[in-house]
Each structure stands twice: as structure tokens, then as C-alpha cells.
Amino acid sequence: MRRFTLRYLPLLLLILVASGATHAASNIPSIVQERGRHALVVDGKPFLLLAAQTNNSANYPAALPDVWPVVEQMHANTLVIPVAWEQVEPREGEFDFSFVDTLIEQAREKQVRLVLLWFATWKNNAPHYAPSWVKLDNQRFPRVKTEKGETLNSLSPHHRSTLEADKKAFVQLMRHLKKVDRQRTVIMVQVENEVGTYGSARDYSETPQKIFQQPVPQKLLNDTGKAPGNWTEVFGKDADEFFHAWHIGRFVDEIAEAGKEVYPLPMYVNVALRNPFNPGKPGQYSSGGATDNVIHIWKSAAPHIDMISPDIYFRDHKTATRVMDLYARDDNPLYIAEIGNDQPYVRYFFDALGHGALGFAPFGMDNTKYSNYPLGAETVDEKVIKPFADLYRVFGSMGSEWADISLNHRTWGFSEPVDTYVADKELWNARGSEAEEKEQRDPEDFTQRQDLGDWTAEITYGRPAFWIDPPKGNDPASGGAVIAELGKNEYLVIGYHARVSFAPSRELQGEQFTFDRVEEGHFEDGEWVFERVWNGDQTDWGLNFIYRPHVLRVKLATYKID
Ligand code: DGJ
């Protein structure tokens, strides 16, 4: 395998030349794309973001001693943590970035990167994290009104006063980061948090009512290929929700644009998802946020937002993986902005990587003794941390190489498809996960097959490493694997609690197939470092990943017989 640094250099130069960047700007993290695949670039190298996200309210120096130990135990390379408008601008025009400074200083000591979450106009639909001078002044910063005229605790996107105030504070934050963070400890910023409105499809107060009757903006018509008209004429039954999504998208985009003018870090939004199989009505889920049905509206409205990133709290395999299919797009790198920290979610790490994800951020990973159960685990303890740590340890040591491979090669991810349901169906049904019983299962239910081109991979779960016993699934469901195509007949395979086997995709006439060579190894400075060859029991029954992940470089071959 060639060194990624050499291979990557021309691309980097091209980006820098194209963007007219100076040498000082060359270190600013960025997102690059190649033929629909993506990478986050940090310090001039692809970077796999293996994060821990804190609980809410961890954004004070007093909470940080409860945060770092978990980051360390997880082997996370990045901490995702809020910065609240209420703490940086408690009085209008007076800014205090002391928390940001403390955070950056401590992160550098721990050699951990930061992603900052800008909790401002919207935090899960509400202005809870806005300063008092904002959230208590409904005249100057009006809230959304329902069709019946009820006022909701969600700020309206239709008022310049709100936008200008939020933007001003955000620009100050970015200016401050630019000044104090030439080391690029902060690598990305989330603009707002789970924007949108619960309880109404849109704002029905006077100002938006007028705008709703006006023609749909030309840009949105161009981007969606629609003929002119007002919102109802163009979008019919979707008009209310699309209108709200467009205006929140424009609001967020203007903030991101202004922030990037000062300091162009990658910026993204996170999404309070609707259940893709059972969506309900806008307002039952957070209307106006970038749910799967309005990603195209958001892409048009918010060109300065680099990624629209799902917050996954569906415990079941079918829904969690469907979300990834929906958000991993040529025009949208997948980044798992949040995912529950309980055991069932861990294995979705493999699906994320298979979808080319830039990163993964389990939520609530700290010792502040809060738990968002039933979304996440009941307690953050060794049992919760270990499976993440097992994966992060392996991928952390090859993060840059993996991110480079992911940018340049095809990848496929798998996770155990049959969920282990506990007696408590309520828990599983939280946020709409579909509970099914695991009884009377066929071995095929625990088998996944993927056509890789010349070869078909088979992934099975819950069988002994020796022998062909049919797969029964792990208890609890915990297996996963990711495969990257390195070249013809050559794959990188990393798995956990799973068996990976290969067979030719086409019919072989007068030929047999075999592993030519299976190397276990690791990466150092972009180079593959060989450790040993897997053979005999380790390959006779497929590649069995039992107690911990292994990194295997697999060469497949066919040979002729008479
Ligand atoms: C999603 C939000 O983005 C988080 O800040 C948090 O509130 C979780 N939901 C629930 O714990």
C-alpha cells in the first residue's frame, strides 16, 4: 500500500490553489470530496473523528474533570461539547469566552480535538440556551405561533432581530477561535442544535403568513426543478413544512456564512430525526429541521453547511441503518453527530464506516452522572465504555490511514441484523424502534451477503470460530465488520464478534478459490506494518473475529485445476 501522504499531496495542493489559500490557512480543517466520497482533513491529513459527546450542561469548567476520564477510557480522539450563547453573551454586547479558553487549554493537554456545538436560537427546538435578554423578550425575538394562534417555545426563523443577534454572537465566537486556536484544536462547529419546531409545521403568525403567499424563491425552484408559484402552488401538501425548513435553513446558513467569513472551519447541523418507516406529521417530529424528506430543501437553503448529520436514537438495526442510507449522499458526507451510548448502538459504528462516515459521536459519555435512558444507557460505566473503547483503540491507531482509504476506495459496513430485545418493549419502542422477537430464527437471518464485484462477502454472527455450525446470533447482538477494497482481489477487513468469508461472485469453470494470503497487521505513518499470517484454524472456517477487532489485509485468488 502506498503512503497516503504522497498520494494525498497533489489533491491537497489542488484544493489550496483552488481556494487561493495562504500557507497560514492551509492548516484549517476542511472537508474534501472525491467522486462522491469524503474525508475530513485535519493538519493536512485525513482524519477519522472518533468522538465522545458530553451530556448537555457539561459546558462549564467545573464539569470538565468529569468529562476527560471517559474520553480517555474510550480512546476518543475528539470531544464534542456545547458552547452556549447564554454563557458567552450573558449581557448584550458583553462577551466572555473564558470557558472556551479553559476547554481548549485542557484539550491540548490531553491531546484531544474539539467539536463545538453552538447552542443558541435553537436547542432541540427551544431557545433554552439563549441568554435571558433573548428568551425573555418575545417582542424583539418572537416565537412561533400555531395555526390556532398558540405561542410555542420555539423562536421563529422569520425575524432579522433574532438572526442578527445570534449571528453577531456566533461571529464573535469564530473570531475568538481564529485568534486563540492557530493549533486547530477545534476542528469543526455545529451550528445550533436539532433545529425545528415541535407542535406546529411552521410559524403561522403575521409576518410568515405574508411570506407564505409570495412566490417560492428562484434558487429553490432552480434546485428542485419546480415551476414558479407560491408555496402551496409549488409544494402542495408539503408546503408548510418545506416553507419552515427553507427559512430555518436560510437562517442557519446566514449564521454559518458569516462565521466562515471570519474563520472557515467545517460547519454542520444535527438532526432530530423522524422515523423513516413511520414518520408521523410535521410538528410531531421537529418540523423544519433537516429530516430525511427535506434534505433537498436544506441543501438548497444552506450551501455553507457542509453536512447534515443524523442523531441516531433508534435502537433497532433496520431503522438505524436506514437512516445512514438516507444521510450518506454524494452531496452529504455521513457524520454520526449523535448516537445513543447503550450497547446495541455500538455495532452501528461498522455501518457508519461502510457508508464512508467522517466520524462517530456517542452521546452522554461523561461522569456527570446523568443518563438519557431510554435513549441511551442507564449508567455510564465500564460495561458501556469498553465496546466503544475496543473499536476506537483499533481505529484510532489507523484513523488517518482509514480516512484516506475511505476517501479513495469502496467500503462496505455490516452490523448484526437481528436485535436482541429485552423484556422491556417500551424501551425498544422509544422513538419508534420496532421490537420483534428473536424466537424461531433461521440461520439466514444472521447472515448477510454483499456483492463486492469479483467476490461476494458473507458475514455471519454467533457461531463458534471452529466448524460450520449455523449462525445463531450473538447475545446480545453486538457483531459487525467493515471491508475496504484496496485493489483487485485485495481487501482490508476489520470485524468484531463476527465471521467474514469470501466466495467468487461468478461461476468458476475449472477453477478453485482460496485465500492467497491473510496478513494481520497495523498501520504506522501511512505504511502497512505486517505482524503475522493468519492460516490454518484462523482461516479454514472463514475469518473469525471473536473477542477483539483485528485488522486483516486479505488477498483472494483462484487457481486452475485439470
Ligand atoms: C438530542 C440532542 O441533540 C442532545 O443535545 C440531547 O438533548 C439528546 N437529544 C437527548 O439526551
193 Cα nearest atom in ligand 1: 3
Q: The domain spanning residue 480 has which CATH number?
A: 2.60.220.20
* Residue with grid cell 462496505, as numbered in its chain: 412
311 Cα nearest atom in ligand 1: 1
Cα–ligand 1 centroid distance for 311 (angstroms): 8
82 Cα nearest atom in ligand 1: 5
Q: With respect to residue 2, please indicate whether it lies within any of the assigned structural domains.
A: no
Query: Do 323 and 312 form a contact (C-beta atoms < 8 A)?
Result: yes
Q: How many domains does the chain have?
A: 2
Calculate ∠ Cα 435-286-207, nearest 5°: 160
Cα–ligand 1 centroid distance for 237 (angstroms): 30
The reported pTM is: 0.94
Q: With respect to residue 107, please indicate whether it lies within any of the assigned structural domains.
A: yes
- The residue segments making up the domain with residue 214 are 8-409
Query: Which residues contact ligand 1 via a Cβ below 6 A?
Result: 56, 124, 193-194, 270, 311, 338, 363, 372, 375
Same-domain status, 402 and 439? no
Partners of 504 in the β-ladder: 455
pLDDT per residue as tens, the chain (562 positions): 334 443 544 444 444 434 434 334 459 999 999 999 999 999 999 999 999 999 999 999 999 999 999 999 999 999 999 999 999 999 999 999 999 999 999 999 999 999 999 999 999 999 999 999 999 999 999 999 999 999 999 999 999 999 999 999 999 999 999 999 999 999 999 999 999 999 999 999 999 999 999 999 999 999 999 999 999 999 999 999 999 999 999 999 999 999 999 999 999 999 999 999 999 999 999 999 999 999 999 999 999 999 999 999 999 999 999 999 999 999 999 999 999 999 999 999 999 999 999 999 999 999 999 999 999 999 999 999 999 999 999 999 999 999 999 999 999 999 999 998 765 666 766 666 665 555 578 999 999 999 999 999 999 999 999 988 899 999 999 999 999 999 999 999 999 999 999 999 988 888 899 999 999 999 999 999 999 999 999 999 999 999 899 999 999 999 998 7
**Among 515, 556, 521, residue whose Cα is nearest residue 538:** 515
* Residue type for position 120: A
With the most atoms of ligand 1 within 8 angstroms of its CB, the residue from 192, 198, 338 to mutate is: 338
Cα–ligand 1 centroid distance for 178 (angstroms): 28
Task: Sort strands 307-312 and 335-339 into parallel, antiparallel or unpaired.
Answer: parallel
How would you class 372 by CB atoms within 10 Å of its CB: exposed for 0-12, middle for 13-18, buried for 19 or more?
Answer: middle
Backbone angles phi, psi at 464, to 5 degrees: -65, 155
Same-domain status, 177 and 116? yes
Same-domain status, 312 and 369? yes
Cα–ligand 1 centroid distance for 60 (angstroms): 17
Cα–ligand 1 centroid distance for 239 (angstroms): 28
Cα–ligand 1 centroid distance for 370 (angstroms): 12
Which of 382, 409, 436 finishes a domain? 409
Query: Do 188 and 268 form a contact (C-beta atoms < 8 A)?
Result: yes
Same-domain status, 214 and 356? yes
Same-domain status, 473 and 342? no
Same-domain status, 94 and 155? yes
Same-domain status, 118 and 210? yes
194 Cα nearest atom in ligand 1: 3
Give me the torsion for CA of 378, 381, 384, 385, rounded to 10°.
Answer: 140
Query: Do 555 and 515 form a contact (C-beta atoms < 8 A)?
Result: yes
Q: With respect to residue 417, please indicate whether it lies within any of the assigned structural domains.
A: no
Question: From residue 84, how far is each of 37, 129, 203, 528 by CA, in Å?
Answer: 33, 6, 25, 43
With the most atoms of ligand 1 within 8 angstroms of its CB, the residue from 57, 194, 274, 286 to mutate is: 194
Same-domain status, 229 and 157? yes
Cα–ligand 1 centroid distance for 358 (angstroms): 20
Same-domain status, 218 and 364? yes
Cα–ligand 1 centroid distance for 124 (angstroms): 7
Q: What is the pLDDT of residue 435?
A: 55
Q: The domain spanning residue 376 has which CATH number?
A: 3.20.20.80
**Among 401, 306, 322, residue whose Cα is nearest residue 355:** 322
Q: With respect to residue 419, please indicate whether it lies within any of the assigned structural domains.
A: no
Atom 10, ligand 1: residue with shortest CA distance: 372
Same-domain status, 448 and 340? no
Same-domain status, 384 and 498? no
Atom 6, ligand 1: residue with shortest CA distance: 56
Cα–ligand 1 centroid distance for 197 (angstroms): 15
Q: With respect to residue 374, please indicate whether it lies within any of the assigned structural domains.
A: yes
376 Cα nearest atom in ligand 1: 11
Q: With respect to residue 442, please indicate whether it lies within any of the assigned structural domains.
A: yes
Same-domain status, 299 and 213? yes
Q: With respect to residue 418, please indicate whether it lies within any of the assigned structural domains.
A: no
Crossing angle of helices 98-110 and 160-180, in 10° steps, is 40
Query: Do 316 and 419 form a contact (C-beta atoms < 8 A)?
Result: yes
Which of 356, 378, 409 finishes a domain? 409
Q: With respect to residue 429, please indicate whether it lies within any of the assigned structural domains.
A: yes
Which of 379, 409, 439 finishes a domain? 409
Contacts of 385 (CB under 8 A, 6+ apart): 70, 73, 74, 365
